[in-house]
């Protein structure tokens, strides 16, 4: 990114999400279902004291905090927990808009090891928006207690993105997590996220819209995902994206008209 676009992006972040980054700082979004330990991971990484509690909905506001690893500064944003980011509620919209339009350098998706299947639902949705994700399988100690074993390397291979097992409360796995965040943000690691297989009716519908969507949004967002949202008739998303298009793409569109 050139200097001016970096500045623009910084303004965009502070205007829309109330987030102030310093130049050269990486932003990391922290997403996940409610009560999976996002704030605990956040605290463990940043050394802050966000409130945690064993009930879904403890965090309702974005919190931010930073940490330094290998001389690079990272700004973490603790998003409210959501079951999905198909945006049916304000919190989901906040989380979704940030991952989608805030363009974090990495998105850390925290999963509950004791109910991985349901949590993967969200991880897969995030993977459709951005390839730069790291999956953190938290509460691994609880899973062990319940005799649940998770094959992390198989999961990593299947998902195509880094997967780290953690027990954030005991500090287990955090070193690896920092390492992966660093690799992802600096571009040392090139993820190849698995694409969701849709049934034929959905896939056909996507293909029908895809060319036009690609042309409208260019390479700013994953066109497949945008097509899906439009097919879903997601009004909140349509509002967000038209705002975003105005903000981000309008100059070029004016040029088009001029030519």
Query: Where on the chain is the footprint of ligand GTP (CB under 6 A)?
Result: 32, 34-40, 52-54, 56-59, 81, 138-139, 141-142, 167-169
According to the binding rule CB under 5 A, does residue 82 interact with Mg ion?
no
Nearer CB in complex with other proteins: 71/201: 201
Which range touches Mg ion (CB under 5 A), out of 36-44, 140-148, 182-190, 212-220? 36-44
Are 91 and 80 in contact by the 8 Å Cβ rule? The answer is yes
Q: Give the bridge partners for 236, in sequence order.
A: none
148 binds, among other proteins, Mg ion, ligand GTP, none (CB under 5 to 8 A by kind): other proteins
**Least CB distance to ligand GTP at residue 110 (A):** 6
Q: How far is CA 17 from the centre of its chain?
A: 14
Nearer CB in complex with other proteins: 6/90: 90
Query: Scanning the structure block, which residue is given the tokens 């390479």?
Result: 219
Nearer CB in complex with Mg ion: 35/222: 35
Q: Give the bridge partners for 63, in sequence order.
A: 78
250 binds, among other proteins, Mg ion, ligand GTP, none (CB under 5 to 8 A by kind): none
208 binds, among other proteins, ligand GTP, Mg ion, none (CB under 5 to 8 A by kind): other proteins
**Least CB distance to ligand GTP at residue 39 (A):** 3
List C-alpha distances in Å: 184 to 96, 102, 161, 196, 255. 20, 16, 10, 21, 35
Nearer CB in complex with ligand GTP: 145/212: 145
Question: Which residues in the 40-79 window bind Mg ion by CB under 5 A?
Answer: 58-59
**Least CB distance to other proteins at residue 24 (A):** 32
Q: Rounded to whole angstroms, how far apart are CA atoms 208 and 202?
A: 10
Closest CA to 113 of 90, 73, 147, 70: 147
**Residue of 21, 27, 33, 39 interacting with Mg ion (CB under 5 A):** 39
Q: How far is CA 145 from the centre of its chain?
A: 29
* Both structure tokens of 250: 């309008």
Nearer CB in complex with ligand GTP: 13/165: 165
Q: Rounded to whole angstroms, how far apart are CA atoms 133 and 184?
A: 8
Are 62 and 18 in contact by the 8 Å Cβ rule? The answer is yes
47 binds, among other proteins, ligand GTP, Mg ion, none (CB under 5 to 8 A by kind): none
Nearer CB in complex with ligand GTP: 90/188: 90
Max distance between CA atoms of the chain, in angstroms, equals 66
Nearer CB in complex with other proteins: 50/66: 50
Q: Rounded to whole angstroms, how far apart are CA atoms 97 and 249?
A: 17
Are 73 and 26 in contact by the 8 Å Cβ rule? The answer is yes
**Least CB distance to other proteins at residue 247 (A):** 13
Rule CB under 5 A: which residues touch Mg ion? 38-39, 58-59
């Amino acid at each position: 990114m050139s200097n001016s676009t970096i500045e623009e992006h910084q303004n965009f972040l502070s205007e829309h999400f109330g987030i102030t980054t310093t130049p050269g700082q990486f932003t990391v979004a922290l997403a996940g279902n409610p009560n999976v330990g996002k704030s605990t991971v956040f605290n463990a990484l940043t050394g802050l004291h966000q409130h945690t509690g064993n009930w879904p909905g403890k965090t309702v506001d974005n919190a931010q905090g930073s940490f330094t690893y290998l001389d690079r500064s990272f700004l973490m944003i603790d998003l409210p927990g959501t079951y999905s980011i198909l945006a049916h509620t304000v919190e989901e919209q906040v989380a979704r808009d940030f991952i989608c339009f805030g363009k974090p350098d990495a998105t850390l998706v925290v999963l509950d090891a004791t109910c991985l299947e349901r949590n993967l639902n969200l991880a897969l949705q995030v993977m459709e928006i951005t390839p730069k994700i790291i999956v953190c399988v938290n509460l691994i100690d609880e899973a062990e207690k319940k005799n649940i074993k998770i094959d992390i390397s198989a999961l990593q291979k299947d998902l195509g993105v880094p997967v780290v097992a953690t027990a954030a409360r005991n500090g287990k796995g955090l070193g690896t997590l920092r390492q992966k965040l660093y690799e992802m943000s600096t571009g040392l690691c090139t993820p190849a996220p698995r694409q969701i297989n849709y049934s034929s009716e959905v896939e056909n519908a996507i293909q029908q819209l895809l060319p036009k969507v690609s042309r409208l949004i260019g390479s700013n967002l994953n066109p497949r995902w945008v097509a899906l949202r439009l097919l879903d008739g997601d009004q909140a998303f349509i509002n967000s994206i038209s705002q975003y298009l105005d903000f981000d793409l309008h100059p070029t569109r004016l040029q088009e008209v001029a030519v």
